């Protein structure tokens, strides 16, 4: 019954406005394995997963149907990235656009592992695909993104709207402290100089030593005939003296060395992504040779592509610890060395704080710039 003195129509309008100020959480995945994280997040929030249908038609096209009203609400789309990356991207784009045309107030993408993040730098005649994807998401209607451990923090600059780049390191550090009994005898290892800053951040918070593997084979831009010398140089052609460039010395990789003492220690290799595991397996072999008696690998995103489970099982690595930003249940069945840390807590808290307009600073406490 409306309050005395207020017409029934105004009361209904007030009730409608109150309903509009709510939020809904949707999953943009069409596969059951990928909706597991969304279910964990909604359970922590005490909310129900939004009603929608996402499926692939027989001709391969993606279709999304929103089954409830979203007008005037904050909508959070949770999209975990399975092996079929491009389908997941299209699901996210189409759902965001469907919500935009359904008059949602804000559309926030919760993308724990941001795809194409490795393609964030120009390589010869390639393209910065990550920038393209950022533009597509903005065009589709997203107004905010929550992600975790971007491969390069500068990726945030590709977006025309806010990006919250959460960190998984507190959960991985807690795992080290609780699940590795003699972790005080451990040393944090960077498998390449590029990962040294991240490893240093872990080492400082755990009060442990640091080691860096140097001389590992790395993907570098090599000088090769790729058509840049077109049109071909004419023999005996006269070159203006002012155009003579200094001779570039070829790179020569140093022999593999470990900077730091790992003898009689537990070695904990830290990184943001573990995909092709050959480099991790090679690093583990080197650390074994240098006297490490136990080897752990800690990473945020466990893509574990191709034969990764088999290679890990046959390697010197004792345990691989990853978070559930990417579904990897099949890989865990193939390799019992793979362990999972749940990060749904921080994602659900980020959703709650963004919806309520609260500060996100608490989620970044004790997080360093290099983490």
Mean pLDDT of 70-91: 93
Element (H, E) at 326: none
Structure confidence by residue, pLDDT tens digits, 274-318 = 998 999 999 999 999 999 999 999 999 999 988 999 999 999 999
Please check whether residue 248 lies inside any domain of the structure.
no
- Together in a domain, 115 and 196: no
pLDDT tier at 10 (50, 70, 90 boundaries)? Answer: very low
Average pLDDT over residues 81-92: 92
Contact 329, 302 (CB under 8 A): no
Query: Do 39 and 162 sit in the same domain of this protein?
Result: yes
Is residue 338 pLDDT above 80, yes or no?
yes
Q: Which residues contact 155 (CB under 8 A, 6 or more apart)?
A: 114, 117, 120, 130, 134, 163
Burial 257-292 (b: 16+ CB within 10 A, else e): ebebebeebbbbbbbbbbbebebbbbbbebbbebeb
Among residues 135, 166, 197, which one ends one of the domains? Answer: 166
Q: In 3D, which of 173, 104, 110 has the Cα closest to residue 137? A: 110
In a domain, 184, yes or no: yes
In a domain, 86, yes or no: yes
State whether 94 and 187 are in the same domain.
Answer: no
User: For residue 315, how many other CB atoms are within 10 A of its CB?
Assistant: 22
Q: What is the pLDDT of residues 17-30, one digit of tens each?
A: 434 458 999 999 87
- pLDDT tens for each residue of 155-171: 999 999 999 999 999 99
Shared domain check, 188 and 154: no
CATH classification of the domain holding 261:
3.40.50.2020
Does the residue 299 lie in any domain?
yes
**What average pLDDT score do residues 112-124 get?**
92
Q: According to the model, what pLDDT value does residue 339 have?
A: 96
What is the distance between the alpha carbons of residues 291 and 360, in angstroms, rounded to a whole number? 43
Q: What is the mean pLDDT of the chain?
A: 87
Q: Confidence class of residue 231 from pLDDT cuts 50, 70 and 90?
A: low
CA atoms within 13 A of residue 74's CA, in its CB half-sphere: 15
Collect all residues with Cβ–Cβ distance below 8 Å to 364 and sequence separation of at least 6: 166, 167
Radius of gyration of the chain (CA): 25
What confidence category does residue 238 fall into, taking pLDDT thresholds of 50, 70 and 90?
low
Beta strands 52-56 and 209-214 are unpaired
For residues 320 and 178, state if they share a domain: yes
The residue among 312, 246, 238, 245 whose CA lies nearest residue 281 is 312
| Position 223 pLDDT exceeds 50 | no
Q: Within 10 Å of residue 219's Cβ, how many Cβ atoms?
A: 7
Residue 314 near residue 290 (C-beta atoms within 8 A): no
Residues 97 and 174 both lie in one domain: no
Structure confidence at residue 16 (pLDDT): 39
Q: What is the pLDDT of residue 97?
A: 97
- pLDDT for residue 220: 47
Based on the domain organization, do 203 and 156 belong to the same domain?
no
Q: Is the pLDDT of residue 62 over 80?
A: yes
Q: What is the pLDDT of residue 18?
A: 38
10 inside domain: no
Whether residue 241 has pLDDT greater than 80: no
In a domain, 154, yes or no: yes
d(CA 183, CA 175): 10
Whole-angstrom Cα distance, residue 20 to residue 101? 16
| b/e 167-204 (16+ beta carbons within 10 angstroms → b) | bbbbbbbebbeeebeebeebbbbbbbeebbebbbbbbe
Per-residue model confidence as pLDDT tens digits over 119-136: 998 888 889 999 999 999
Residues in contact with 103: Cβ distance below 8 Å, sequence separation at least 6, in sequence order: 70, 71, 72
Do residues 95 and 119 both lie within one domain?
yes
Under a CB-based contact definition with an 8 Å cutoff, are residues 304 and 277 in contact? Answer: yes
190, 335: one domain:
yes
Residues 162 and 74 in one domain: yes
Residue 330 pLDDT > 80: yes
Question: Which domain does 79 fall in, by range?
Answer: 24-166
Percent of the chain with pLDDT over 90: 73
- Residue closest to 65 by CA, chosen among 98, 30, 110: 98
Strands (E), the chain: 23-27, 52-56, 62-66, 74-78, 106-111, 144-148, 163-166, 186-190, 209-214, 257-259, 266-274, 294-302, 319-323, 338-341
* Structural domains counted in the chain: 2
CA distances in angstroms from 171 to 23, 99, 207, 229, 310, listed in the order given: 27, 33, 16, 50, 26
Asked if 111 and 195 sit in the same domain, the reply is: no
Q: Has residue 232 been placed in a domain?
A: no
- Judge contact between 121 and 128, C-beta under 8 A: yes
pLDDT (mean) for 43-58: 94
9 part of a folded domain: no
pLDDT in tens, 179-217: 999 999 999 999 998 899 999 999 999 999 999 998 855
**pLDDT confidence tier of residue 243, bands split at 50, 70 and 90:** low
Residue that is written with structure tokens 């004419």 in the block: 234
At which residue do the structure tokens 């995909």 appear?
A: 275
- Cα–Cα distance measured from residue 135 to residue 132, given in angstroms and rounded to the nearest whole number: 5
Q: Are residues 137 and 186 in the same domain?
A: no
Cβ contact 168:198 at 8 Å: no
């Amino acid at each position: 019954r409306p309050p005395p003195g207020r017409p029934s129509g105004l009361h209904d309008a007030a009730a409608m406005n109150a309903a509009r100020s709510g939020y809904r959480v949707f999953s943009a995945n069409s596969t059951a394995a990928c909706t597991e994280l969304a279910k964990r997040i909604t359970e922590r929030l005490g909310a129900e997963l939004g009603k929608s249908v996402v499926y692939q038609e027989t001709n391969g096209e993606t279709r999304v149907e929103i089954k409830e009203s979203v007008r005037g609400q904050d909508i959070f789309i949770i999209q975990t990235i399975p092996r079929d990356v491009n389908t997941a991207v299209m699901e996210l784009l189409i759902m965001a656009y469907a919500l935009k045309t359904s008059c949602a107030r804000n559309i926030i993408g919760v993308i724990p592992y941001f795809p194409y993040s490795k393609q964030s730098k120009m390589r010869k005649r390639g393209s910065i695909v990550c920038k393209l994807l950022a533009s597509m998401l903005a065009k589709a209607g997203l107004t905010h993104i929550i992600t975790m451990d971007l491969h390069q923090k500068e990726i945030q600059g590709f977006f025309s709207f806010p990006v919250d780049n959460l960190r998984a390191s507190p959960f991985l550090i807690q795992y080290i402290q609780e699940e590795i009994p003699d972790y005080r005898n451990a040393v944090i290892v960077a498998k390449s100089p590029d990962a040294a800053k991240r490893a240093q951040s872990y080492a400082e918070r755990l009060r442990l030593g640091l080691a860096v593997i140097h001389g590992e084979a790395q993907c570098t831009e090599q000088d090769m005939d790729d058509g840049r010398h077109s049109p071909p140089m004419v023999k005996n052609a006269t070159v203006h003296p002012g155009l003579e460039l200094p001779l570039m010395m070829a790179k020569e990789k140093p022999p593999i060395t470990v900077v730091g003492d790992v003898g009689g220690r537990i070695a904990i290799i830290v990184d943001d992504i573990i995909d092709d595991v050959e480099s991790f397996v090679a690093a583990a072999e080197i650390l074994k040779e240098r006297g490490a008696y136990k080897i752990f690998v800690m990473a945020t995103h466990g893509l574990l592509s191709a034969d990764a489970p088999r290679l890990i099982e046959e390697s010197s690595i004792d345990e691989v610890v990853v978070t559930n930003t990417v579904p990897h249940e099949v890989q865990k069945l193939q390799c019992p060395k793979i362990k999972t840390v749940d990060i749904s807590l921080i994602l659900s808290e980020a959703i709650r704080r963004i919806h309520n307009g609260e500060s996100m600073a608490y989620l970044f406490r004790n997080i360093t710039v290099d983490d």
